[in-house]
Amino acid sequence: MFKSAIRKWGEIRYGRISSAQYLIVSLVVIIGLALLSMATAPGEREDAPYRVSHNRAGAGVNEATKPLILQWMKDRSDMPEQVLERIYSAAMDNVNADLVLAICLVESNFNPHVESEKGAMGLMGIMPTVWLEELKAHGIVRERDDLLTISSNIKSGGYVLGRYLARTNNLREALSLYAGGDPAYAVRVLRMLGEITQVRRSENEPRLEALRTEAQFRPALHLSERWGQT
């Protein structure tokens, strides 16, 4: 019915249209309907979980890049290697793993026991005066000192970040709110996130190049197989 309506409209308006014209009109209508559907889709609730589209879940991170990321962490922190490994492992449990690592660097330089002059605690700089009671209510921490442990602090930071992401639906704005409304903070975190992404890509580039080379010769391989050549 949809196709016949388009064809009939073309015949009435311009006379019988060509196949190419019919295809173009169909594509325009389909794209328009898709854009309309996206524009009218309901927004997320404030407490709904949010996923950052450009960042991978910890479970999906290529473990081959772990040594490279740990070296990247070592180059930017004086913390012992075993501490950095625990931080890395805890971050991988978060859906926004690389973003968590970027925040940890900016907030604490990967020091789990740091406390700022404003009262921000631990790796991800959690403000207990703002978040402690809510974190307790959700069973993330039991007491204030839990914010100085690696796993509890990262879980707390992931929760706080998720709240801001759900509220703004914008990573840059969420990071700014995370730091009390400081846009420069968001710039620093995103810069570190970019470095992490680049490190991970550097490990994958040789593999991608190998796949490209294989793809170039695959048609010839299929042709030889078709004719029984070895």
Given a cut of 80, is residue 139 above it in pLDDT? yes
Given a cut of 50, is residue 227 above it in pLDDT? no
pTM over 0.85: no
User: What per-residue confidence (pLDDT) applies to 132?
Assistant: 98
Identity of the amino acid at 70? L
- Give the whole-angstrom CA distance, residue 103 versus residue 167: 19
SS3 121: strand
How long, in residues, is the chain? 230
Residues 6+ positions from 219 with CB-CB distance below 8 Å? none
User: What per-residue confidence (pLDDT) applies to 202?
Assistant: 86
Q: What residues form DSSP beta bridges with 115?
A: 121
CA Rg value for the chain: 25
Of 158 and 17, the structure prediction assigns the larger pLDDT to: 158
Q: What average pLDDT is seen over the chain?
A: 78
User: What per-residue confidence (pLDDT) applies to 31?
Assistant: 62
Say if residues 94 and 58 touch (Cβ distance below 8 Å).
yes
Given a cut of 50, is residue 78 above it in pLDDT? yes
User: What per-residue confidence (pLDDT) applies to 179?
Assistant: 95
pLDDT in tens, 84-97: 999 999 999 999 99
- Give the whole-angstrom CA distance, residue 32 versus residue 137: 45
Eight-class DSSP state of 94: S
**Banded model confidence at residue 12, pLDDT cuts 50, 70, 90:** very low
Q: Rounded to 5 degrees, what angle do the CA atoms 87, 83, 136 make? A: 50
Angle between helix axes 183-226 and 97-108 (nearest 10 degrees) is 150
For each of the domains in the chain, give its residue range(s) and CATH number, in order of start.
Answer: 2-40 (no CATH), 58-204 (1.10.530.10)
**Banded model confidence at residue 57, pLDDT cuts 50, 70, 90:** very low
Q: Above pLDDT 70, what percent of the chain?
A: 61
